[in-house]
Amino acid sequence: MSLIDPENTLPPARSPLSEAWEMFRGNTAAMLALIVLALIMLCAIFGPWVYPTDPFDMVWAPFSPPGVDGFLLGTDYLGRDLLAALIHGSRVSIVIGLAAASVSILIGVTVGALAGFYRGWVEELLMRITEFFQVLPTLLFSMVIVALFGASLPMITFAIGVVSWTAVARITRSEFLRIRELEYVMASRASGATNSKLMFRVILPNALPPIIVQAALMVGSAILFEAGLSFLGLTDPNVVSWGQVIGSNRQYILDASYTVTIPGLAIFVTVLCISLVGDGLNDALNPKLRSR
């Protein structure tokens, strides 16, 4: 028998990225979620131009229910347009979600990579620091930061990012610990690659799949986090955000429950879509786990 069986040759090789996209496209829920997310993004970017009503302006009588008097989602307790609040608020939610997730991924990947790469006392120290941050209740900790140092958007972003990086650090570390022992890493180490090249050019790209999935989930968590903070009133008073709409209207749920349910639904749908996309990414990027 010849070595190559003509009937059995492999299909033409494709790049792993296009293969992952192929997988992802097959996932109906994830694709739908991606489309909804794209719509929300468009709304956040262009919405305020298309619908320029100032969400802080009192435009009509308070507690005007949705659909009545020409206000699609009604007005709140101060007679402010709820639709305007949702559209303008989407910017804050999404910008803070993305920025805070970036901060925590930056910290988490750095800590995890250093710990997993250098091992020894570096790992010991960094993992102790990670544990320390796990002991502090995240929301309470960021409340304290915002309360002490001011409720500006950058400070809120920092406060969310600095308390939520521990999961990323743990995942990155365990990936680094696994990959650093693989043969191709040994090979490039033997061929004299510098530590920084090993870490960022050799190991990190291969550690990315689970980090990317975690990053997607981090964006969702950060949006929830921001919503929680602004629900409690810890938000920049000059911008409107979804959680803040709920927080400021919650005393009036007897009169107008829609002022709370609708913004909550916006948060819920956004985070749900992010988590579905995250699941889709997980299946697409970690084919070994697909059978689950």
Distances (CA, A) of 144 to 99, 130, 149: 20, 19, 8
| Minimal distance, residue 25 CB to another protein, in Å | 21
Q: Taking contact as CB under 8 A, which single stretch among the options 60-68, 126-134, 171-179, 206-214 is the one that binds another protein? A: 126-134
Q: Which residues pair with 75 in a beta bridge?
A: 81
The pattern of x and - marking residues 128 through 167 that bind another protein according to CB under 8 A reads ---xx-xxxxxxxx-xxx-xxx------------------
Q: Which is nearer to another protein, 117 or 158 (CB)?
A: 158
Site for another protein in 14-53 (CB under 8 A): none
Task: Describe the crossing of helices 258-285 and 204-231 by its angle, rounded to 10 degrees.
Answer: 170
Q: Which is nearer to another protein, 64 or 249 (CB)?
A: 249
Using rule CB under 8 A, residue 194 touches another protein = no
For residues 234 and 236, give the distance between their C-alpha atoms in angstroms, rounded to a whole number: 7
CB 79 within 8 A of CB 101: no
Q: Single out the residue of 61, 184, 261, 290 in contact with another protein (rule: CB under 8 A).
A: 261
Distances (CA, A) of 272 to 82, 154, 170: 22, 25, 24
Contacts with another protein by CB under 8 A: the residue count is: 42
Residue in 112, 65, 124, 68 with CA at minimum distance from that of residue 215: 112
Contacts with another protein, residue ranges (CB under 8 A): 131-132, 134-141, 143-145, 147-149, 220, 224, 227-228, 231-234, 243, 246, 250, 253-254, 257, 260-261, 264, 267-269, 271-272, 274-276, 292
